[in-house]
Amino acid sequence: MGGDNARPHGPACAQEQFDGGKTMQRGADVQDGLTRRRFAAGAALAAALPGHAAVDPFAALRRAALPVRQPARALLLHAAAAAGRIVAVGERGVVALSDDGAKRWRQARRVPVSVTLTAVRFADAKRGWAVGHGGVILTSADGGETWDLQADGRTLAAAAERAAAAQPDLAREAALLVRDGPDKPLFDLHIAGPRRLFVIGAFNLAFESADGGASWSAASGRIDNPKAQHLYALAARGSSWLIAGEQGLLLRSPDGGRSFQRLASPYAGTFFVALATDAGEWIVAGLRGNAFRSADDGQTWRKLEGAPPAGFVSACPLPGGGVLLANQSGQLFVVQAGVDALQPLPGASLPPLAFAMPLPSGSGDPGDPGAPRQPAGDTLALTFAGALRLRGGKPA
C-alpha cells in the first residue's frame, strides 16, 4: 500500500525494519477474514489442480539460504560491526561479511532460513543476533560465520498463548498469531544485557528473552498500542527506551522495557528510525523527510529542517559526535547535537538507500598485516544496487 503506511526498505542503525515494501494493515475483522479466506481458497485450488502440490507459504523458514555469487550485490538491508568485521543482512537469508572495511565481501557459511532478514546486532566480536520475516530470530557465536535458528513465528505464537493464559485481554492477538502462522516480520532488536534480548515487529509484536534467546516470552501486553500498529525501531539509552512506529507512534519506557507509555507525537505519519545519540538526545525519522530531535526524553520535539520529501531509512552515530541519516533517494545527511538543520553530504548521486553507517576506523584485512588500515570518515552504504564503500560521499 502507498501513502503514509508504505514502509521503505531498510532499518535504523540503532535498531531497523523492512517489510518488502508492503505494509500490512489489520483492518476490520470482516475485511481481515475475507482476505484470509481468499488466500486459503487460492491455496486449496492450487493444491487441487493436477500436478500441483499443496502450497506451503512458509517453506523459506525451512530452506537454508542459497549461495550467491556476489553477496555484496544482493539487496542488503542492515549491517553491524562485530569488532573489525562488518556483518550485513538482507533478502533471502543472505548474510554478507567483510573483514577489510567493506572492500571485499563473502557470504556466511550457514544460514538456516531463506527469508528476508531485517536487522542485525552484535554484543561483542563473536555473539550476535538477527531478526526478519516469519518472526525469525537467528544467533551467531562466531562473528557471523554461521547462524542458528532460535525462534520463528510459531515459537512466538506459542509464547503469546502462554501470556494470554495469564492475561485474557491478550487472547485475541495470541489466537491470530496461531491461526495466521508465521507470516509476520520482526523489524528490530535490542541487546539489553549479557543474556537479555528484546525484539519488535509488525502488529505490535514484542517479545523478550532472559536467557540469550533460548526461550521467549511475550511483551506486547506492556505496550500502549491498542490498534496493534507496527513497531519499526527501538532505541535505548541505559534504562530509557524509545519505540517508534506506524502512524506517528512513539512509546517510551523508563524502566528498561518493563513498561511503555505513549508519547505525544510531532508527526502523524510513520517513523522507521529511532536513535539515542551520544549527546543525550533522541532522533526519530520517517516518511516524507520528516525527522525530529528531543533533548528532554521525548517530552517535546523539534523538527530537523532541510530534507526533501523522501523517507528516511536509517540513522547512526558518527565518531566524534553527530548523526548520519540516510533516505530512500540516495542522500546522506548529518545532524549535530542541538542543531535543527540537516546538513546534506556532498558526493556522487547514489542509488536508493536501505541503510548507511560509518565504517570502524582502523579496520583492515586480518589476513594481510601489511594492508592499509581503514581511514576514519569512510561510510558503508547499502543501496538497492548493492553495498558501496564511500569516501567523501563518493564510491571509493
Type of residue numbered 340: D
Instruction: Look at 168-172, 310-314, 376-380 and tell me which has the smallest mean pLDDT.
Output: 376-380
Q: Is the pLDDT of residue 32 over 50?
A: no
369 located within any domain: no
In sequence order, the β-bridge partners of residue 129 are: 121, 139
Q: What is the mean pLDDT of residues 233-243?
A: 97
Q: What is the CATH number of the domain that holds 339?
A: 2.130.10.10
* Start-end of H helices in the chain: 29-48, 153-166, 171-180
What is the number of structural domains in the chain?
1
48 located within any domain: no
Q: What are phi and psi of 207, to 5 degrees?
A: -140, 155
Chain segment 356-393, per-residue pLDDT in tens: 999 986 544 444 444 433 345 799 999 999 999 999 87
Mean pLDDT score across all residues of the chain: 86
User: Cell numbers of 372, please?
Assistant: 592499509
Three-class SS state of 275 = strand
Q: Is the pLDDT of residue 29 over 90?
A: no
> Given pLDDT bands bounded at 50, 70 and 90, which one contains residue 7?
very low
298 located within any domain: yes
Q: Is the pLDDT of residue 139 over 80?
A: yes
What is the structure's pLDDT at 396?
Answer: 79
Residue 300's domain spans which residues? Answer: 3-19+58-364+377-395
What is the structure's pLDDT at 43?
Answer: 40
- Helix then strand then coil, in percent of the chain rounded to 5, is 20, 35, 50
290 located within any domain: yes
> Given pLDDT bands bounded at 50, 70 and 90, which one contains residue 13?
low
193 located within any domain: yes
What is the structure's pLDDT at 394?
Answer: 83
What is the structure's pLDDT at 35?
Answer: 34
45 located within any domain: no
Long-range pairs for 123-126: beta carbons < 8 A, 24 or more residues apart: 123/191, 123/194, 124/82, 124/83, 125/82, 125/83, 125/85, 126/82
CA dist., res. 271 & res. 284, Å (int): 7
Chain segment 337-354, per-residue pLDDT in tens: 889 999 998 887 899 999
Q: Is the pLDDT of residue 90 over 90?
A: yes
39 located within any domain: no
C-alpha to C-alpha distances, 328 to 24, 53, 185, 289, 337, nearest whole angstrom: 20, 39, 21, 9, 23
CA dist., res. 15 & res. 237, Å (int): 12
Chain segment 109-131, per-residue pLDDT in tens: 999 999 999 999 999 999 999 99
Q: What is the mean pLDDT of residues 148-177?
A: 95
Q: What is the mean pLDDT of residues 268-286?
A: 96
What is the structure's pLDDT at 93?
Answer: 98
34 located within any domain: no
Chain segment 39-67, per-residue pLDDT in tens: 333 444 344 445 555 678 899 999 999 99
What is the structure's pLDDT at 2?
Answer: 37
Print burial letters for 73-87: b (CB count within 10 Å at least 16), e (below 16): ebbbbbbbbbebbbb
What is the structure's pLDDT at 364?
Answer: 47
CA count, 13 A, side-chain hemisphere, 369: 0
What is the structure's pLDDT at 393?
Answer: 78
CA dist., res. 7 & res. 23, Å (int): 6
CA dist., res. 221 & res. 87, Å (int): 33
> Given pLDDT bands bounded at 50, 70 and 90, which one contains residue 18?
very low
Share above pLDDT 70 across residues of the chain, in percent, rounded to a whole number: 82
